[in-house]
Amino acid sequence: MPAGSIEEVAPYLKPADAEALARAYAFSEKAHEGQLRKDGKPYITHPLAVSEILADWHMDAQTLMAALLHDVVEDTGIAPEQIAEQFGQAVANLVEGVTKLDKIQFESKAHAQAENFRKMLLAMAQDVRVILIKLADRLHNMRTLDAMKPEQRSRIAQETVDIYAPIANRLGLNNVYRELEDIAFMYLHPTRHRVLEKAVQAARGNRDETLNKIARGIGDKLKAAGLRAEVYGREKHLYSIYRKMQEKNLTFSEVYDIYGFRVIVEQPADCYLALGALHSLYKPIPGKFKDYIAIPKANGYQSLHTTLFGPFGAPVEIQIRTQDMHRIAEAGVASHWLYKADDTALSEVQKRTHQWLQSLLDIQADSRDSVEFLEHIKVDLFPDEVYVFTPKGDIMAMPRGATVVDFAYNVHTDIGNRCIAARINGEFMPLSTPLRNGDRVEIVTSESARPNPSWIHFVVTGKARAHIRNALKKTHQYESEGLGLQLLNQALRGLAVEPAEITEAQWERLIKESGRSKNEILAEIGLGKMLGVVVALQLLARDTEEAAERRQAVPMLIHGAEGVAVRLGKCCRPIPGDPIIGQIKKDRGLIIHTHDCQQVRHYREDPDKWVNVEWAPDIDKTFEVGIKVIVANKRGVLATVAATIASEGSDIDNVEMGEQDGGAYTSLFFNVQVQNRVHLSRLMRSLRGLPDVVRIYRIKGREARTP
């Protein structure tokens, strides 16, 4: 990069920084020597164009150097250490953050893409300049996309719409966001883009006179109110027109007949004065006013939005903001470099951005892999938000559709993990309740509570989803270890060895031989991946026929469905008093069945696949059981049967009636809660005593009806 070019591209740099930038250009030019882009131009033209885009945002010298060098590690074989040695560790870190992972072999193309994004976003969490370089890189690539093959164009354009444009929007880079979307639209839907572009050009001439007339009216009204203001016509970009047509099923004329204006005033208080003046000029449309000054968007955007009934009945959308607000609206987080000032609004943008970037680290920590991480991030990139209040009156922005549980996790991970109920505007509401603008939300917690697996089905934020999955994984691990310990102790006692007799030396030998920790071994026993008796024999280092015959001598006590590691079989729905058997199932733990269950008949011949179990004598729980009651087809019989069930201290979970064929009898199917077989027998005896009951019996397996 010749010295004259540096002065043209980044005239704001100090001489020492300009000299370092020239060295970076020379280094990059030499590294890329002989390489050409798809359009036939020397490759150096690409990093140079990226640095020029960043210079337009007044980025610092380190960022511009990293932009010039961002492809040398990936494309030329130069090591990151060389960059650090020549240009400093900060520049090397920025280059490393942007560099893709093409040289690493992944399970699939989707996995590779997800890993690239994960690495980029996590680097961005450490230094936001990484994503600014990446966005400038993507912007130039999109501007030169025509040189790529058609299938590559579509893939890159879709990736841009899905990830990069939303990130630009999330960071407040409106100009970049709009340009990325419009170029992507051109390559994803070339015919629709061409038709819309022609329609806009054709309609533009007819609109000019109306736009000028409305703008003059707005300007005169504000002047008469004593306000100094600039009024600009605001035109929608093509992709936003297309998206609105798709989402709201509108025609082009219905979307394009909305006139948009931007009013720039001097002080925040002037925004509200201008709003009052304009509402007296044209009637406001009810429900179309939004105050993003009092409650800024998550990316720091501030403006008043209102929609008015303009002349000829055409809607007029107006945004009212100060010059500082306008800078942030157009440049977002980049305004920190564009406008060097101690302005509180600018520092607030940085603060909000930092909070979001830090949340990426939380999501990464709780995600199983890169694909899941990308899935969570995509949810958080869409800008449609609702604003709710904490009990202290603090404002919190949440994605539209977010629930109480999303809110709880947004406050703090521990609040989310321990929430049991919530008050919305003072009333108790279900945890799955979607939040609305202005809701006041209070979370009720309990120290003993833990996340419910069903929450996964209704939360919408990546942070909540990741934390729930992580908590469930830890719970699953803990419960599996507990079950594994019980199974191992049972196996040891079956070999005539008390668990307390096993020494640390025996465990250390097994840990060394297996390459697993003690907790991992116990968890694998609990999940059915290892047999308790095999581990017991490995600990004892002996396997005798006598031991094998005795290993099922001591039964394991069952207290009921004990979390995710011990489950009651849905095929037979055992209850205390039923003879039971435990089936070891890989990755599912211990499944309890009745002795006569058809599902385990063939397992009885293989003692390695079942566990000797018995009900504990002190069970204080209720269990679901199905019963079928055949009754006379009379009015009121269902109420009579239900009342009898309730009188025996049993709750009804579900009831269904058999198909009505007009006959003398009908079938009633109940799912009821009982304590044990004695309780069930007493209940069935009471039902048999009813005059309208013809027959009653317990149902299992496929005949059972569940809601």
What are the C-alpha distances in Å from 672 to residues 324, 578, 648?
A: 65, 16, 11
What are the C-alpha distances in Å from 554 to residues 205, 497, 535, 549?
A: 90, 11, 17, 12
Of the candidates 430, 460, 425, the residue with the CA atom closest to the CA atom of residue 442: 425
For residue 68, the model assigns a pLDDT of: 92
Whole-number Å distance between alpha carbons of 579 and 644: 28
| Total residues found in the chain within this entry | 707
For residue 352, the model assigns a pLDDT of: 62
Q: Are residues 527 and 648 in the same domain?
A: no
Dihedrals phi, psi of 335, to nearest 5 degrees: -65, -20
Q: Are residues 53 and 79 in the same domain?
A: yes
Q: Are residues 82 and 156 in the same domain?
A: yes
For residue 482, the model assigns a pLDDT of: 80
Q: Are residues 181 and 303 in the same domain?
A: no
Q: Are residues 142 and 261 in the same domain?
A: no
Q: Are residues 287 and 319 in the same domain?
A: yes
Q: Which of 615, 646, 679 is the last residue of a domain?
A: 615
Say if 573 falls within a structural domain: yes
CATH number, domain of 307, equals 3.30.460.10
**Residue 558 β-bridge partners:** 615
Q: Are residues 605 and 679 in the same domain?
A: no
CB 170 within 8 A of CB 360: no
Q: Are residues 543 and 525 in the same domain?
A: yes
Q: Are residues 295 and 205 in the same domain?
A: yes
Helix axes 370-381, 462-494, angle to 10 degrees: 150
Q: Which of 308, 340, 372 is the last residue of a domain?
A: 340
Q: Are residues 29 and 170 in the same domain?
A: yes
Say if 387 falls within a structural domain: no
Which residue positions in the chain have pLDDT lower than 50?
3-4, 101-106, 339, 341-346, 383, 542-554, 564, 702, 704, 706-707
* DSSP track, 575-612: -TTS-EEEEEETTTEEEEEETT-GGGGGGTT-GGGEE-
* Range(s) of the domain holding residue 535: 470-615
Of the candidates 478, 454, 335, 338, the residue with the CA atom closest to the CA atom of residue 405: 454
Q: Are residues 161 and 270 in the same domain?
A: no
CATH number, domain of 683, equals 3.30.70.260
CB 460 within 8 A of CB 379: yes
Q: Is 445 helix (H, G, I), strand (E, B) or coil?
A: strand
Neighbour count for residue 377 (Cβ, 10 Å): 23
Residue-wise pLDDT tens digits, 522-556: 877 776 667 776 688 778 764 444 444 444 444 55
Residues with Cβ within 8 Å of 616's Cβ and at least 6 positions away in sequence, in order, are 557, 558, 559
Say if 146 falls within a structural domain: yes
For residue 103, the model assigns a pLDDT of: 43
Whole-number Å distance between alpha carbons of 6 and 93: 23
Angle 685-687-692 (CA atoms, 0-180°, nearest 5)?
135
Tokens of 326: 């306008």
Q: Are residues 255 and 216 in the same domain?
A: yes
**Residue-wise burial string across 322-341, b where 16 or more C-beta atoms lie within 10 A, e elsewhere:** bebbbbbbbbbbbbbbbeee
- Number of domains comprising the chain: 4
Beta strands 556-558 and 613-615 are parallel
Whole-number Å distance between alpha carbons of 670 and 707: 10
For residue 254, the model assigns a pLDDT of: 75
Q: Which of 615, 634, 656 is the last residue of a domain?
A: 615
Residue-wise pLDDT tens digits, 102-116: 444 445 556 666 666
Say if 314 falls within a structural domain: yes
Dmax over Cα atoms in the chain, in whole Å? 104
CATH number, domain of 145, equals 1.10.3210.10
What are the C-alpha distances in Å from 441 to residues 272, 444, 469?
A: 28, 10, 24
Of the candidates 389, 410, 300, the residue with the CA atom closest to the CA atom of residue 352: 300
Say if 433 falls within a structural domain: no
Catalytic residue positions? 74-75
For residue 129, the model assigns a pLDDT of: 82
Say if 572 falls within a structural domain: yes
Whole-number Å distance between alpha carbons of 97 and 588: 40
Tokens of 456: 């996964």
CB 345 within 8 A of CB 328: yes
Say if 608 falls within a structural domain: yes
For residue 535, the model assigns a pLDDT of: 80
Say if 673 falls within a structural domain: yes
CB 409 within 8 A of CB 395: no
Whole-number Å distance between alpha carbons of 83 and 383: 37
